[in-house]
Structure 1
Amino acid sequence: MSLPPGFLDELRTRSSLSQVIGRKVMWDMRKSNQGKGDMWAPCPFHQEKSASFHVDDRKGFYYCFGCHAKGDAISFVRETENVSFMEAVEILAREAGMPVPRQDPRAQEKADRRTQLAEVMELAVQFFRLQLRTGAAAAARDYLDRRGLDAAALEHWEIGFAADAWQGLWDHLKSKNVADDLILGAGLAKPSSKGGKPYDTFRGRIMYPIRDARGRAIAFGGRAMDPNDNAKYLNSPETELFDKGRSLYNMRDARTAAGKGQPLIVAEGYMDVIALVQAGFTAAVAPLGTAITEHQLQMLWRIAPEPIIALDGDTAGLRAAMRLIDLALPQLEAGQSLRFALMPQGQDPDDLLRASGAPALQKLLDDAMPMVRLLWQRETQGRVFDSPERKAALDKALRDKIMLIRDPSIRSHYGQEIKDLRWQLFRPASTKRPFTPRAQGAAGGRWSAPPAPATPTAKSSALAVAQNDIATEHLREAVILAALITCPQIIEEFEGGLETMTCANPDHADMRDLLLRQIGTTPDTLRDRMDEAMGPQVLENLLSSNHVAIIPCIRHPGDADMARMTVAEELAKLDAARGLSAEIADATEDLSGTADEGVTWRLSEAARAADRARRSGQEDTVEYELGDNGARISRDERSALDALLQTIRYSKPGG
């Protein structure tokens, strides 16, 4: 059976050789370099213990240095599955999601025609190169000289010139006895609408040959010399040889350079690629007048697992980068992504190299941002998130984009990275309270409140209560954090409460931040990351503290219901206690002015709120008494309230 031209090339492109062979061998990861597609294993074709079987995933070939077996994905399937050529093709096509074309009796005829078209293109390359040496190309040579292209560069890139004549190339090819249909079929000429002789596609342009991965000339790109020309750059029309959405400029040489360790750089135009290669960045390619297509993206990943997109530093370049994100997200795989090096405003890689040299470009490449950061930038840059609705809209937009990722592991990592970035954006400003540490000893460095003043007055009593509350708040924070650490699956339920929980203890603040960034992780992973970030002693001190160790959900780790109840109760008590402390502080300040019944009412309401929170769950080991309104408050709080209210009464006229 004959197959259409290009089908086998596309099949080999879509089939990862390392994945095909990986089903039959065990890779030697000490010798292999997965990032470069350089894999080694014991040969599946003969018995051996050493890893002499080499797979070059980029080039799509394998070779055994022991038995000298070699081939591509098709030959490997044939040999290992004992099937025919067409059966091997069908197996690979099924895995790649490609329908096998029906038998084409004219396939050989089409292959012969493609060969003829490629020969015509080579004649055109030679013609244009000769034209660059003529007097008519003086302006073109001056332009190329200003762009820094010497004779060696012109030779390497095979740059030519199409004179501003209607049938210059046509007449030349006809003198070589080339058939009309081949000239037209190669896209080198267009039929006249008036029925006359066809005219050249390219006129008055500097010509850049475009070659495929096999090195065949398949198309041209032409830059207009006339500044008033409607099209500054013009590519060949699509032909049997040329599909611009499946081709890349400098594809063949870039693949070779990337195989030697050069970073794969994707620029926007021909001159950018030439400038990059001239500056030593030899693995550079460019799409051909269109945004990067899905097929081109797969071609890039076949060359390198993480190409660097170096687009122009203007609105159009940034817009192209943003569109590429949406194209790439569904196709991400482990170790396969993109990085983005955005040029300075108004510059392309060629401009940057001429202005600042290779070191400036190298720094941009070294600092290239991962795709997740550019996605975040796209959704947040220039926007204000000053309302819950706007924040929710951001969450939805990012969630929708992350859901495009098919790989569950990558989707999870993207979600975690977005949570980290979101926390940095919306992180509340912590209110720092004074805190007095006790020397850290064997018990674990616990904290105690400062001593109360010896002579209580209205203000000093209130301050004493506030200082005692700091110690109480510290204990509650410790219980909340410990419960969530031992049962991290409930962190997301209390995300809002955690975000607004101000922590006086810096260790507690760091733990809170880390918990918010690790939503959805396992207890073991969470502890490992906490130990890595803060040191093992901090977590050990927290969980071994007496007031934490006796909590039921700590004694029975993993009980989600018990942990959920504990966190909810402690958050409510913490909020109520801090509300009462704030009212006492405000009332203390109010005593310096004219007192009124409002102070009494505010304090009573705060006390009721604190009492409601305490009644909701387990009792604290603090002695309580009933207030005048029946509310139960601690004796310290009662003393402060009595002192304040007494001062208010005496400060009133006639009191």
Structure 2
Amino acid sequence: MSLPPGFLDELRNRLSLGQVVGRKVMWDARKSNPGKGDLWAPCPFHQEKSASFHVDDRKGYYYCFGCHAKGDAISFVRETENVDFMEAVKILAGEAGMPMPERDPAAQQKADLRGQLVEVMEKVIKWHRLQLQTAAATEARDYLARRGLSPEAQARWDIGFAPAQGGALAHLSAQGVDAKLVIAAGIAAESDRGGAPYDRFRGRIIFPIRDARGRAIGMGGRAMDPNAPAKYYNSPETPLFDKGRSLFNHGPAREAAGKGKPLIVAEGYMDVIALAEAGFTATVAPLGTAITEDQLRLLWRIAPEPIIALDGDTAGLRAAMRLIDIALPLLESGQSLRFALMPPGLDPDDVIKTQGAGAMQKLLDAAIPMVQLLWQRETEGKNFDSPERKAALDKALRDKIKLIADPSIRSHYGEAIKEMRWALFSTRRPAAPRAQGGTWSRNADPWKRAISPVATARNSMLGAGAVSQEHLREAVILATMIVAPSVAVEFGDALERIDCRDPAHRDLQAAILRHLGNADLETIISADLGADALEKLLTQSHVAISPAVRRKGEAEVARLCLAEEFAKLTARRGHAREIEDAVEDLGGLADEGLTWRLAQASAAVDKAGRGDNEDRAEYAVGPNGARMKKDERSALDQLLDQINFAKGQDRPRS
């Protein structure tokens, strides 16, 4: 079976060789640099202990310095799975989400056509280069000089000129090139009125467009006539050129990024050229459109965190905002975007020309993460002076965060949004610096010293015992979810919402969310965080005696244990939050209502910490017979209702 032209190139572009190989090897953390796509491991093709097997993830090739095995993703699958070439392609196409093409007897003819079109494109680019040196191109040369492009730079970028009267079609025809090939390459077009074909590019500066392998696939033209219908004009879709899956300066930028240069995404040809000439050689641009999903995947194949440097005008900001919606569902661990915002009215070329490369570097260094731009988009220019408007903001942000498929990233986005929301709506002044012992610093300003007694009182109200109990509940929750993975899925949302105070617990929480739904969480998390982290959790006395841990495999026991522990933790931290909110309000004038609120919250936490012999009227019976505080039972009922609603059934009432 013959494959259509471009299929294998697209397959290699969509796949990460590191991910394909990573299923068969264990990377050497000391030698590998995942951020640069530089990965090392013991060779899977011969027995060895040293990491002599090298994967260049950006270029898509592997090589073993021991047995000299080398190849790409297809050859790796062929060797490790013992399959033929076409079967390896089918396996990889399935992973990349690409349907295998139907049998195409004319595939070889199409491949031959692409080869012919590349030759035609190279000929016309050479002809355009010569035209730039003619008298007809005087205005074009002056324009390029004003934009700071020397003749040497023009030669490096193969910049040319298409005369106003055309001539490319006639030149190629004189060299014996069939007019049909010229039209198929997008250089000429057939007349709607049945006349002779005509040149598509006339009176324009020509910028050649090449694929990742350096082959000419299209052209972009900048009009010299200010009254031209379009200032910039690209080649049409052809067997060579798909503008939604191509990037200007793709090959050189990929090579520069492999050497450590930051990948920058600019808006147009001149921005890319200006940045590259100023030393920012890993710069690319989409081709006359907003960045597409396919282009975004290409960018992530080059570098894990491209910097989007769009123009500092309304159109540039709109393009950045649209990109957020495209990127959110595609985010993966270690794979995101940053945004460098140009000064109002300037593009990267303007910044370099007027302020120099140093100013541009500062803008790139100050690039903001995507979550911050998302927050800016949803809040800028809006007023949140009512609960309804605040609720509308919360809903809009929740809807966007739900687009993120990776549960760990979704959780971290939620935390970042929560912090920015606090900064927007909080009336409390910045917290005073703390000494290492946890007390207020004596060097704090008078206002901070004035509120320190309140904070101290709050700490005493919560008490060390409360914090300890929360730590124990966190540990039981994490352990139960690990040993009961089938039940853990039901409580994924609840786990995302809790704020683990212990760094070790946070690591376990993130690992569970990353692998939620996997049937063997213990093995995966042990491999992810190390056996010591899991052993330390499961051997704690209060964890080991938990019914869900002692009776592994009993799903209902695990379900009730998780529901109860989540409910108790939620209720206790809810009381603590009431106190924090009340203390926050002390930033303004205290009144009787505020004093009552603080007293009530304090009493609630105090009751939550009393022994079983006190306030028996405050207790209820849990579904497994355990005694619970009424507010904890209320939280438990709400959690069970949510879980059963998601499963499409009613919760049996006890």
Counterpart in 2 of 1:525?
503
Whole-angstrom distance in 1 between the partners of 2:609 and 2:376: 47
Deviation at 1:65, TM superposition (A): 1.5
Counterpart in 2 of 1:496?
none
Q: Is the 8 A contact 1:577 1:610 kept in 2?
A: no
Counterpart in 2 of 1:541?
none
Whole-angstrom distance in 1 between the partners of 2:456 and 2:11: 64
Deviation at 1:154, TM superposition (A): 1.0
Counterpart in 1 of 2:460?
478
Identity of aligned residues (%): 65
Q: Is the 8 A contact 2:500 2:506 kept in 1?
A: no
Secondary structure in 1 matching 2:502:
helix
1:83 aligns with 2:83: yes
Counterpart in 1 of 2:157?
157
Relative to the length of structure 1, the TM-score reads 0.72
Residues 578 and 186 of structure 1: CA distance in aligned 2, closer, same or farther (over 3 Å): closer
Secondary structure in 1 matching 2:164:
coil
- Structure showing greater radius of gyration is 1
Deviation at 1:159, TM superposition (A): 0.5
Secondary structure in 2 matching 1:487:
helix
Counterpart in 1 of 2:622?
none
Secondary structure in 2 matching 1:154:
helix
Q: Is the 8 A contact 1:569 1:617 kept in 2?
A: no
Whole-angstrom distance in 2 between the partners of 1:573 and 1:564: 14
Counterpart in 1 of 2:307?
308
Counterpart in 1 of 2:425?
426
Residues 481 and 157 of structure 1: CA distance in aligned 2, closer, same or farther (over 3 Å): farther
Counterpart in 2 of 1:451?
none
Deviation at 1:479, TM superposition (A): 2.2
Counterpart in 2 of 1:338?
337
Residues 173 and 387 of structure 1: CA distance in aligned 2, closer, same or farther (over 3 Å): same
Q: Is the 8 A contact 2:427 2:584 kept in 1?
A: no
Residues 201 and 571 of structure 1: CA distance in aligned 2, closer, same or farther (over 3 Å): closer
Counterpart in 1 of 2:370?
371
Q: Is the 8 A contact 2:210 2:216 kept in 1?
A: yes
Secondary structure in 1 matching 2:280:
coil
Q: Is the 8 A contact 1:576 1:613 kept in 2?
A: no
Whole-angstrom distance in 1 between the partners of 2:309 and 2:218: 24
Whole-angstrom distance in 1 between the partners of 2:407 and 2:353: 44
Deviation at 1:485, TM superposition (A): 6.9
Whole-angstrom distance in 1 between the partners of 2:575 and 2:275: 62
Deviation at 1:151, TM superposition (A): 1.4
Deviation at 1:570, TM superposition (A): 8.5
Q: Is the 8 A contact 1:489 1:522 kept in 2?
A: no
Counterpart in 2 of 1:140?
140
Whole-angstrom distance in 2 between the partners of 1:397 and 1:330: 16
1:208 aligns with 2:207: yes
For 1:406-485, list aligned pairs within 5 A: 406-429=405-428, 475=457, 478-480=460-462, 482=464, 483=466
Whole-angstrom distance in 1 between the partners of 2:182 and 2:265: 32
Deviation at 1:64, TM superposition (A): 1.1
RMSD: 3.7
For 1:173-252, list aligned pairs within 5 A: 173-252=172-251
Whole-angstrom distance in 2 between the partners of 1:615 and 1:430: 26
Deviation at 1:519, TM superposition (A): 5.8
Counterpart in 2 of 1:295?
294
Counterpart in 2 of 1:487?
470
Residues 405 and 135 of structure 1: CA distance in aligned 2, closer, same or farther (over 3 Å): same
Residue by residue, what CA displacement relative to the aligned partner does 1:554-579 show, whole Å, maximum 9, x if unpaired? xxxx9777777777789989999999
Residues 392 and 152 of structure 1: CA distance in aligned 2, closer, same or farther (over 3 Å): same
Residues 240 and 616 of structure 1: CA distance in aligned 2, closer, same or farther (over 3 Å): closer
Number of residue pairs aligned between Structure 1 and Structure 2: 517
Residues 161 and 480 of structure 1: CA distance in aligned 2, closer, same or farther (over 3 Å): same
Whole-angstrom distance in 2 between the partners of 1:577 and 1:263: 45
Residue by residue, what CA displacement relative to the aligned partner does 1:292-335 show, whole Å, maximum 9, x if unpaired? 00000000000001000000000000000000001001111111
Deviation at 1:445, TM superposition (A): 8.1
Equivalent residue letter for 1:525: P
Residues 89 and 519 of structure 1: CA distance in aligned 2, closer, same or farther (over 3 Å): closer
Secondary structure in 2 matching 1:206:
strand
Whole-angstrom distance in 2 between the partners of 1:474 and 1:399: 35
Deviation at 1:525, TM superposition (A): 3.0
Deviation at 1:371, TM superposition (A): 0.6
Deviation at 1:480, TM superposition (A): 3.2
Secondary structure in 1 matching 2:220:
strand
Residues 478 and 106 of structure 1: CA distance in aligned 2, closer, same or farther (over 3 Å): same
Deviation at 1:522, TM superposition (A): 2.6
Counterpart in 2 of 1:387?
386
1:117 aligns with 2:117: yes
Residues 347 and 481 of structure 1: CA distance in aligned 2, closer, same or farther (over 3 Å): farther
Counterpart in 2 of 1:269?
268
Q: Is the 8 A contact 2:473 2:565 kept in 1?
A: no
Whole-angstrom distance in 1 between the partners of 2:70 and 2:600: 80
Whole-angstrom distance in 2 between the partners of 1:291 and 1:129: 29
Whole-angstrom distance in 2 between the partners of 1:67 and 1:283: 34
Secondary structure in 1 matching 2:247:
coil
Counterpart in 2 of 1:401?
400
Whole-angstrom distance in 2 between the partners of 1:363 and 1:114: 43
Deviation at 1:477, TM superposition (A): 5.2
Whole-angstrom distance in 2 between the partners of 1:615 and 1:273: 62
Equivalent residue letter for 1:38: D
Counterpart in 2 of 1:35?
35
Q: Is the 8 A contact 1:488 1:520 kept in 2?
A: no
| Higher mean displacement: 40-49 or 128-137 | 40-49
Q: Is the 8 A contact 2:578 2:601 kept in 1?
A: no
Counterpart in 1 of 2:108?
108
Whole-angstrom distance in 2 between the partners of 1:324 and 1:578: 37
Equivalent residue letter for 1:426: F
Secondary structure in 2 matching 1:219:
strand
Q: Is the 8 A contact 1:209 1:220 kept in 2?
A: yes
Whole-angstrom distance in 1 between the partners of 2:374 and 2:598: 44
Secondary structure in 1 matching 2:63:
strand
Residue by residue, what CA displacement relative to the aligned partner does 1:149-186 show, whole Å, maximum 9, x if unpaired? 111111100010000114x1111111011111101101
Relative to the length of structure 2, the TM-score reads 0.72
Whole-angstrom distance in 1 between the partners of 2:60 and 2:455: 64
Q: Is the 8 A contact 2:572 2:605 kept in 1?
A: no
Deviation at 1:478, TM superposition (A): 2.6
Whole-angstrom distance in 2 between the partners of 1:382 and 1:6: 46
Residues 485 and 249 of structure 1: CA distance in aligned 2, closer, same or farther (over 3 Å): farther
Q: Is the 8 A contact 1:202 1:222 kept in 2?
A: yes
Equivalent residue letter for 1:479: M
Residues 428 and 171 of structure 1: CA distance in aligned 2, closer, same or farther (over 3 Å): same
Runs of 4+, deviation exceeding 4 Å: 470-477, 488-491, 526-529, 558-579, 606-621
Deviation at 1:68, TM superposition (A): 1.3
Residues 568 and 148 of structure 1: CA distance in aligned 2, closer, same or farther (over 3 Å): closer
Residues 568 and 263 of structure 1: CA distance in aligned 2, closer, same or farther (over 3 Å): closer
Equivalent residue letter for 1:17: L
Whole-angstrom distance in 2 between the partners of 1:85 and 1:388: 61
